[in-house]
Amino acid sequence: MTEVKKTYKIPCSKCGRLVGRHALSLKRTYMCEYCKTAKKKKWQAVEKELSERIFDEITIQTKAEIKFDKAVQKMFEKRDDKEKYSKAIRLAKTRCELYGSIPEIFVAIELLHQGYKIIPQQKVAKYRLDFVIPDKRAVIEVDGKIFHSDQAKEAEKDFVVKNNLGAGWRILHIPTDYITKDMMKVAKYFRKVLK
């Protein structure tokens, strides 16, 4: 003889629908499948929102991003026009891995602020150029003491670059000292020379 299990009809604690169960406990609450699914989806949405909030609060930055933020802070520590540069700063930060130095970051932000389309670290022949501005047929090299101290090598590099880019291209060399001491003068120079 087979034993028949007794089925209890218990009301759902949320909606009141009858739920069939083989066991009954007065200490436990019962829910129908619909209410269980709704509760699960609600908790999944809450978990997702919490994880997004936590992720927004915990920002993990690369070394290049930290360096970029410090450069921006330094660039605007004695200036009050940072708000005008916000779009250029956001765009420059998307390429922060490409800048080799803080003065290069200053130059990138200024060029983008002035509306130029720049290509940082463009390879031409065997050389990497700090910034290429194709619309203006110009190359901007940020000359630091360590990297650009040999005039003969710089002249050879300029010759090779001009031969590869073609006639009409200009190479502008800007010492890092000028950039770090008075970026506003460098900005005026860009506006004058890159018309």
Strand partners, 131: 120, 140
Q: Judge if pTM exceeds 0.75.
A: no
Please report which confidence band the pLDDT of residue 184 belongs to, taking 50, 70 and 90 as the band edges.
very high
Average pLDDT score over residue span 42-57: 78
DSSP 101: S
Q: What is the pLDDT of residue 185?
A: 93
- Residue 92 and residue 113: Cα distance in Å, rounded? 10
pLDDT, one tens digit per residue, over 61-106 is 889 999 999 999 999 988 889 999 999 999 999 999 999 899 999 9
Average pLDDT score over residue span 22-44: 83
Contact 147, 71 (CB under 8 A): no
Identify the CA nearest to 106 among candidates 18, 186, 22: 186
Please report which confidence band the pLDDT of residue 38 belongs to, taking 50, 70 and 90 as the band edges.
confident
Q: What is the pLDDT of residue 191?
A: 92
State the CB neighbour count (10 A cutoff) for residue 108.
28
Average pLDDT score over residue span 125-143: 93
Which pair of structure tokens corresponds to residue 104?
A: 């290069």
